[in-house]
Amino acid sequence: MAIICSVGKALPKYELEQNRVKDMVKNIFSYTDREINRLLPVFDNASIHHRQFVVGEEWFLEDHSFQERNRLYHQNAIEYSLVAMDDCLAKANLHKKISYEDIDLIAFVSSTGISTPSIDTFLMNERPFREQVERMPLWGLGCAGGAIGLSRVFNWLRANPTKSALLVNCEICSLTFQKSDHKKSNLIGTALFGDGISAALLIGENSPFRSQLSKASPIIKDYSSYTKKDSTDVMGWKVIDSGFEVVFSKSIPALVDSIWKSHMEDFLQYKGITVKDIAGLIAHPGGKKVIDAMKDALSISNEQIHYSSEVLQDHGNMSSATVQYVLQKWLQADMNMGDKGILCALGPGFSSEILLLEWDK
């Protein structure tokens, strides 16, 4: 098992209202009136009020090279990941303070920029990690990375039950915007994606910090991974001269009713529980259509998934970091001992990741 002690986050400094982004798109893309009337309602139907970005709105009006984009990614990934990590350790649900010297593993998940050495090495240089800390950089998981990162750390802690781990999810989607890409997939991405950075602290079942838990915390009990073969064209990046061009299929909500529903039903049956046993669905909010499809697929109530809708409204889809923002809200909720939660996310592959959580000491 692995115990989730806290989630910290960092909010990029530039915030844009959804209507402002919509107006900018009208000016950036040379759409006809007919195309505007057909395409722009996606901004109104996204159920997003505002999003945060590491760059101001004037940045989106200019062309940028891959080199410039990745330089900004590298700079901001380090800056905001440090803020999220500091916030995470400060909020740890522990009577005894935990420090960077106590961390045995740092996992870094991202899909919106590249770095060799990986970003976690730069984070080590800025905080007093031990040089013996293990590293787990994970790239290319997209929106599923927030859940898959937890599964991989869970496995590591199951093998190292006395140790502690820090999972960082850093997605700077704004830097992938392509102003010359007029395809509908780019417009949908522009209507949905924002920038988000999170950090989660996890400890093993025999960790010396377990006795210091100040209240019931979610324990990862089990997980399940599924990747549909021959579905690599559903979502991801196409690498072009100016950076990453989004691949975003209109079939994603329909895949919720097939792939995700089947995966969930099999997992719940395997664990001997039903949807009614789940206090909270800690779901990655890929978009309003995805949330609605999840509710319809398994008759999930608004109460069970409401934090996913709140995060989408306030931040948009931040790729892998989004489900961590949702998890933070559930950590702050008044949960009872024994309450169960399902954390889940869909991503490139086409993949589905599900984790079973239970609140306990």
Q: List C-alpha distances in Å: 111 to 108, 132, 180, 185.
A: 10, 26, 21, 18
Q: Are 310 and 104 in contact (CB under 8 A)?
A: no
Q: What phi and psi, each to the nearest 5 degrees, are found at residue 183?
A: -70, 155
d(CA 228, CA 20): 37
Distance CA 203, CA 137 (A): 19
Is the C-alpha dihedral spanning 261, 265, 271, 273 positive or negative?
Answer: positive
Three-class SS state of 326: helix
DSSP single-letter state for residue 94: B
Q: How far apart, in whole angstroms, are the C-alpha atoms of residue 101 and residue 131? A: 9
Given a contact cutoff of 8 angstroms between Cβ atoms, the answer to whether 347 and 353 are in contact is yes
User: Which candidate in 5, 88, 143, 344 is catalytic?
Assistant: 143
Of the candidates 2, 7, 1, the one whose C-alpha atom is nearest the C-alpha of residue 331 is 7
Strands (DSSP E) found in 66-190: 105-110, 134-139, 164-172
Looking only at Cα atoms, what is the longest distance across the chain?
64
Contacts of 122 (CB under 8 A, 6+ apart): 78, 115
Q: Catalytic site residue 143?
A: yes
Put residue 181 in one of left, alpha, beta given phi > 0 → left and psi -120 to 50 → alpha: beta
Cα–Cα separations (whole angstroms), residue 132 to 157, 159, 162, 208, 283 = 16, 17, 16, 19, 34
Residues labelled catalytic? 143
